[in-house]
């Protein structure tokens, strides 16, 4: 009798779970949207979880499937969670800009109690996000970028020293550039000299690696935090290890205390954050000293300061280093384009006494086209996330998105769409000439996002990428080597788009003229 009852209980549980799963995986079908086939309970990310493909490859395949069916949107599943995927540019524009009030949040996991460093601008929601965004926006104006420009240029000295030591054999440019941007962000965000170019195993560089290293268990944890944030918050799950949290918090706290105690002023991001902490706004350049700061209501806390410094590091060093890596790879394959951009760099520098001034860097238009074309082919984020914060009728469609519905905008699919970019796999910087840009919908190029949630650090990212590429291309020539990846594969272990393994290139010093 006991055995019979147990069997009935288990059979009933299996049937209920099967019915629940079937209901979940027919959600989009009931609403009339097509979806990629689901072959397991992992939904449409089975190959990603098993490390058989990257997010970029997965999202590109989804986009191409919907495009081939002639639809404006489709459905997608991450495990049992339905995700709305628009591919029509007008719908995407409505979500990101025109109807932003329905999609104010990214829908990313946030646990301010256990993960204080993750309580930064990217993750914050609602009024908290809006208030902090208004406080931080003045720190990323062109004037403030100009203030930090020399700090970035100073880091090229170490870059030259490293490059000159490794010219006899193929160079892993991916590693060198990651160390270069680590030094830049360490200096600008934390006001410290990391010296990772000189010492590849320095603690700051190792901690930077730890942020982006993701094994199977970490991947599953992050996925569960994305699709079931309330459950994971109930268990007080943290995405950032206590060791990493303590390391970065300690650096920020010590830096702030030292600067305030000794009235130290540096032209960097940390200095701007300290102003926001102590005064609630940025002071004029002629009033930089700490003693001029007075009390006001609109301040940020030390914890908020630490979180913004952390995301500046997390988002700044990896995305810029991978962009430069992809760029040099493409230029090594296209020597005519490499020579054209080098000629522009030399010509511009000659007009500025050979110095990499802020104005000189901003004057390099073809270099910017080269970077934009790199970001088109290899966007740092292959998709953008939003969450429906109030019920939304999709314009032009018989579909209503419920509050809480997650949205995935397939950036890499849009960037590789032949409708917008003929021969999309070809590296062609002329796509971003002023004339060609005018003839194209701006929402067909969204590497930094768009609308009110556009990346606040886009100017800084472009500036440090331009400085790094200028320093390298004016002094070195890059070519494909026998160790260069062929074909190029994306890393399945990272949400940020990067190459799988090393990126070896042949490098040759250009004789000074």
Question: Would you write out the chain's pLDDT as a tens digit for each of its 513 residues?
Answer: 555 776 665 666 665 565 556 667 889 999 999 999 987 788 898 888 888 899 999 999 999 999 999 999 999 999 889 999 999 999 999 999 999 999 999 998 888 888 889 889 999 999 999 999 999 999 899 899 999 999 999 999 999 999 999 887 899 999 999 999 999 988 888 888 888 888 888 887 887 777 776 666 777 788 888 878 888 888 888 888 888 888 889 989 999 999 999 988 888 899 999 999 998 888 754 344 444 444 445 788 999 999 999 888 888 778 999 999 999 999 999 999 999 999 999 999 999 999 999 999 999 999 999 999 999 999 999 999 999 999 999 999 999 999 999 999 999 999 999 999 999 999 999 999 999 999 999 999 999 999 999 999 999 999 999 999 999 999 999 999 999 999 999 998 888 899 999 999 999 999 765
Q: According to the annotation, is 455 in a ligand binding site?
A: yes
Distances (CA, A) of 504 to 334, 480, 501: 16, 8, 10
Interior angle at CA 499, CA 497 and CA 504, nearest 5: 150
Interior angle at CA 325, CA 321 and CA 331, nearest 5: 140
**Residues 468, 458: Cα–Cα separation, whole Å:** 15
Is residue 16 domain-resident? no
Is residue 469 domain-resident? yes
CATH number of the domain that residue 54 is part of: 1.10.630.10
What is the number of other CB atoms lying within 10 angstroms of the CB of residue 308?
A: 27
Is residue 11 domain-resident? no
Is residue 19 domain-resident? no
Asked if the peptide bond before residue 35 counts as cis, ω within 30 degrees of 0, the response is no
Is residue 497 domain-resident? yes
Is residue 35 domain-resident? yes
The total of structural domains in the chain comes to 1
Is residue 466 domain-resident? yes
Assess contact for 386 and 107: CB atoms under 8 A.
Answer: yes
Q: How far apart are the first and last CA of the chain?
A: 94
Assess contact for 188 and 148: CB atoms under 8 A.
Answer: yes
Is residue 230 domain-resident? yes
Task: For 273, list phi and psi in degrees, rounded to 5.
Answer: -65, -40
Distances (CA, A) of 455 to 33, 177, 446: 30, 22, 10
**Residues 55, 381: Cα–Cα separation, whole Å:** 9
Instruction: Please give the torsion angle defined by the CA atoms of residues 64, 95, 440 and 444, in that order, rounded to the nearest 10 degrees.
Output: -40
Which residue segment(s) compose the domain that 229 sits in? 27-509
CA contacts within 13 A on the Cβ side of 407: 31
Assess contact for 485 and 500: CB atoms under 8 A.
Answer: yes
């Amino acid at each position: 009798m006991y055995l019979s009852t147990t069997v009935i209980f288990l059979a009933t549980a299996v049937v209920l779970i099967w019915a629940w799963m079937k209901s979940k995986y027919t959600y989009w079908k009931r609403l009339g949207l097509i979806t990629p086939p689901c072959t397991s309970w992992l939904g449409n990310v089975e190959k990603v979880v098993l490390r058989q493909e990257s997010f970029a490859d997965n999202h590109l395949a989804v986009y191409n499937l919907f495009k081939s069916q002639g639809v404006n949107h489709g459905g997608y599943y991450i495990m049992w969670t339905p995700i709305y995927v628009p591919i029509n540019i007008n719908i995407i524009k409505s979500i990101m800009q025109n109807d932003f009030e329905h999609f104010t949040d990214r829908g990313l996991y946030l646990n301010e109690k256990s993960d204080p460093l993750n309580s930064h601008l990217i993750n914050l929601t609602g009024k908290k996000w809006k208030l902090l965004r208004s406080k931080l926006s003045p720190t990323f104006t062109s004037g403030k970028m100009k203030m930090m420009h020399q700090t970035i240029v100073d880091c090229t000295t170490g870059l030259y020293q490293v490059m000159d030591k490794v010219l006899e054999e193929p160079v892993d440019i991916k590693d060198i550039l990651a160390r270069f941007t680590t030094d830049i962000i360490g200096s600008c965000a934390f006001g410290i000299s990391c010296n990772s170019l000189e010492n590849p195993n320095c603690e700051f560089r190792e901690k930077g690696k730890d942020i982006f290293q993701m094994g199977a268990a970490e991947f599953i944890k992050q996925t569960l935090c994305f699709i079931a944030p309330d459950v994971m918050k109930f268990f007080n799950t943290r995405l950032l290890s206590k060791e990493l949290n303590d390391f970065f918090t300690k650096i920020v706290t010590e830096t702030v205390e030292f600067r305030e105690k000794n009235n130290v002023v540096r032209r960097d991001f940390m200095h701007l954050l300290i102003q926001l902490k102590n005064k609630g706004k940025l002071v004029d350049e002629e009033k930089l000293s700490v003693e001029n700061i007075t009390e006001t209501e609109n301040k940020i806390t030390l914890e908020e300061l630490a979180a913004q410094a952390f995301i500046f590091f997390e988002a700044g060093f990896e995305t810029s280093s991978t962009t430069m890596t992809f760029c040099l790879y493409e230029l090594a394959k296209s020597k005519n384009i490499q020579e054209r951009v080098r000629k522009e760099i030399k010509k511009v520098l000659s007009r500025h006494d050979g110095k990499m001034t802020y104005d000189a860097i901003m004057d390099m238009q073809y270099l910017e086209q080269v970077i934009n074309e790199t970001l088109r082919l290899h966007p740092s984020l292959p998709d953008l996330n939003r969450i429906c914060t109030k019920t939304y009728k999709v314009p032009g469609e018989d579909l209503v998105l419920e509050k809480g519905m997650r949205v995935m905008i397939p950036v890499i699919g849009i960037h590789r769409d032949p409708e917008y970019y003929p021969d999309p796999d070809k590296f062609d910087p002329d796509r971003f000439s002023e004339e060609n840009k005018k003839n194209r919908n701006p929402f067909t190029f969204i590497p930094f996002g768009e609308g009110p949630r556009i990346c606040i650090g886009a100017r800084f990212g472009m500036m440090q990428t331009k400085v790094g590429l200028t320093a390298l291309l004016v002094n070195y020539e890059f070519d494909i080597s026998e160790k260069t990846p062929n074909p190029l594969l994306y890393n399945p272990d990272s949400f940020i788009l990067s190459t799988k393994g090393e990126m070896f290139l042949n490098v040759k010093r250009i004789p000074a003229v």
